[in-house]
């Protein structure tokens, strides 16, 4: 009862100002995406939201998402709005409207709030608790309700200005529009942004401002290609193309802007890397430590001809983390491998022997098979360089192992640990930032030659 009374009061407070902050769009306007867009997951899963505050100069247009665009439903003048997910069901009369205009008029007459469900407008006169149902509420900064929304399609917020809100603990601004995708009692937050704006939001984080023009343009092409290549299908079930982390590409909207980076991105506008007419799978890393690692030897799976090992003469010894050494005792090795789990769950004792039993079959020195034995006679074998790097917690899987032996008084050998001599930083597949800088600055390569060197057999294509 108290729950119902509280929301009735909120609805009454909102109705007094509804005509000054709402404007109708009649009929609802379907707005297609003019250009290629990228759907970036900002908050989802464990980072999903139950409520979020957004700000945009000039106010917002609210709508519902679609596969190739969105439908504008209603506009609000408020420059700050609070979007929340609430487990309630609106109490409505029998009247139904196909446009917002009569619903807004009826809400003003009836002291209610406009409610839209699957494209049909109603007037909500109260809210009742509903354990199995949830709706979106849009409120002003004082908590007065402006709009209620329910439906299978995501709630969309668009603005003429950048949309600002805290995706994590930091306040970020984003171009494009924001989709709030229902996920039970919470919702995912997705930034739908034009491909070129996405590239400009990635470059400051993935390459920075210190690389040459040609290296930067090569990265711009790869940054543009990556979300189109369908190489990361894991996020499709989450409702977006890419996330903002290192498993995809670091993206923070307008948090960093640089005129030079944006100019270089514009000079390659629309250009992507293709193989046999399709967007190529593109990867990059900091330093390979010599020849790059082949894709199929890093993670398994498809053996792509243009992602086999190449050696461009990268001067890795001059790079930060180009050459490194790490010492691990057998106990430390045991701890790391047990924490990784997987095949190493078979090891019940302390590691007594660890060996490199295979390297990249296409010629690089990346370790692609690691065989480990414990003092109880158990053996575990881990394949592929990327999980090997992760299991050992190393900068790269481009390394060699040297046993560190101690001798007991009786002359027997005790394997105390290993010395790991490593080269490079990152997974080692695709373009090396250090190598690309060398090709550009020392050999005079332009970005097209840099890309051809690291992705042989691919072609540049300009999107229509």
Answer yes or no: do 6 and 124 share one domain: yes
Identify whether 260 is part of a domain: no
pLDDT digits (tens, 9 = 90+) for 86-139: 999 899 989 999 888 899 899 989 989 999 998 899 999 988 887 678 899 999
Residue 333 within a domain? yes
DSSP-assigned letter for residue 298:
H
Residue 104: burial class (beta carbons within 10 Å; 0-12, 13-18, 19+): buried
- Same-domain check for residues 175 and 301: no
**Region 419-439 average pLDDT:** 97
Domain that residue 314 falls in: 283-429
Q: What pLDDT shows up at residue 9?
A: 40
| Secondary-structure breakdown of the chain: helix, strand, coil percentages, each rounded to the nearest 5 | 25, 40, 35
Alpha helices by DSSP H, 56-113: 100-110
Tell me: pLDDT of 82 over 60. yes
Q: Residues 341-359: what's their mean pLDDT?
A: 96
Q: Are residues 185 and 287 in the same domain?
A: no
pLDDT score, position 5:
40
In a domain, 272, yes or no: no
**Residue length, the chain?**
464
Confidence band (pLDDT; 50, 70, 90) for 17?
A: very low
Assess if residue 114 is contained within a domain: yes
Are residue 189 and residue 289 in the same domain, yes or no?
A: no
> The pTM is what?
0.87
Nearest CA to 370 out of 291, 379, 361 is that of: 379
Q: Return the pLDDT at 4.
A: 42
Does residue 312 share a domain with residue 171? no
One domain for residues 44 and 150: yes
pLDDT tens per residue across span 44-74: 999 999 999 999 999 999 999 987 789 898 8
157 and 19 co-located in one domain: yes
Rounded CA separation 296/292 (Å): 12
- Residue 227 · residue 242 · CB < 8 Å: yes
Residue 13's pLDDT is 42
Separation of CA 355 from chain center: 35
Identify whether residues 169 and 25 lie together within a single domain: yes
Spatial distance between the Cα atoms of 126 and 113, rounded to a whole number of angstroms = 9
CA torsion sign for 244, 245, 248, 252 is positive
Q: Confirm whether 305 is domain-assigned.
A: yes
Question: Residue 144: which of 185, 171, 107 has the closest Cα?
Answer: 107
Q: Which of 143, 163, 194 is where one domain is finished?
A: 194
Co-location of 176 and 289 in the same domain: no
**Model confidence at 233, in pLDDT bands (50, 70, 90)?**
low
Considering the domain architecture, whether residues 184 and 311 belong to the same structural domain is answered as no
What percentage of the chain exceeds 70 in pLDDT?
92
Q: Could you give the number of structural domains in the chain?
A: 2
- The band of 174, judged by pLDDT with boundaries at 50, 70 and 90, is very high
Model confidence at 10, pLDDT cuts 50, 70, 90, reads very low
Classify residue 32: in a domain, yes or no. Answer: yes
pLDDT digits (tens, 9 = 90+) for 274-295: 999 999 999 999 999 999 999 9
Looking at the structure, do residues 160 and 28 belong to the same domain, yes or no?
yes
166 and 19 within one domain: yes
Residue 110: inside a domain: yes
Q: Specify if 454 maps to a domain.
A: no
């Amino acid at each position: 009862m108290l729950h119902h009374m509280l929301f009735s009061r909120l609805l009454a407070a909102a109705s007094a100002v509804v005509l000054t902050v709402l404007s109708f769009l009649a009929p609802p306007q379907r707005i297609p995406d003019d250009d290629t867009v990228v759907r970036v997951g900002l908050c989802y899963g464990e980072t999903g939201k139950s409520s979020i505050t957004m700000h945009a100069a000039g106010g917002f247009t609210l709508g519902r998402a679609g596969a190739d665009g969105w439908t504008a439903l209603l506009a609000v003048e408020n420059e700050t709005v609070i979007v929340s997910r609430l487990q309630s069901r609106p109490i409505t009369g029998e009247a139904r409207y196909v446009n917002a205009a009569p619903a807004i008029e009826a809400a003003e007459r009836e002291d209610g709030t406009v409610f839209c469900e699957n494209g049909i407008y109603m007037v909500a006169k109260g809210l009742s608790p509903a354990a199995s149902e949830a709706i979106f509420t849009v409120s002003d900064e004082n908590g007065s309700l402006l709009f209620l929304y329910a439906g299978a399609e995501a709630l969309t917020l668009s603005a003429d200005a950048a949309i600002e809100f805290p995706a994590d603990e930091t306040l970020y601004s984003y171009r494009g529009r924001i989709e709030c995708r229902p996920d039970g009692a919470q919702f995912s937050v997705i930034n739908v942004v034009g491909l070129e704006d996405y590239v400009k939001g990635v470059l400051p984080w993935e390459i920075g401002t210190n690389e040459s023009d040609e290296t930067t343009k090569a990265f711009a092409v790869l940054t543009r290609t990556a979300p189109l290549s369908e190489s990361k299908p894991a996020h499709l079930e989450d409702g977006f193309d890419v996330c903002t982390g290192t498993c995809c590409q670091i993206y923070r909207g307008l948090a960093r802007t640089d005129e030079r980076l944006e100019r270089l991105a514009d000079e390659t506008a629309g250009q992507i890397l293709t193989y046999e007419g399709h967007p190529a799978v593109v990867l990059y890393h900091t330093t390979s430590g010599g020849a790059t690692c082949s894709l199929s030897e890093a993670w398994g799976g498809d053996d792509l001809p243009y992602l086999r090992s190449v050696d461009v003469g990268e001067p890795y010894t001059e790079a930060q983390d180009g050459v490194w050494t790490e010492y691990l005792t057998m106990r430390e090795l045991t701890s790391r491998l047990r924490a990784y789990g997987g095949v190493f769950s078979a090891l019940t004792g302390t590691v007594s022997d660890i060996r490199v039993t295979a390297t990249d079959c296409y010629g690089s020195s990346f370790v692609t098979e690691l065989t480990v034995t414990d003092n109880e006679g158990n053996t575990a074998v881990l394949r592929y360089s990327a999980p090997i790097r992760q299991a050992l917690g190393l900068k790269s899987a481009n390394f060699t192992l040297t046993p560190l032996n101690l001798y007991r008084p009786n002359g027997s050998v005790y394997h105390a640990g290993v010395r790991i001599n490593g080269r490079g930083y990152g997974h080692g597949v695709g373009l090396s930032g250090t190598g690309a800088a060398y090709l550009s600055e020392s050999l005079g390569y332009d970005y097209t030659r840099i890309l051809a060197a690291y992705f042989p057999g691919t072609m540049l294509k300009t999107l229509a």
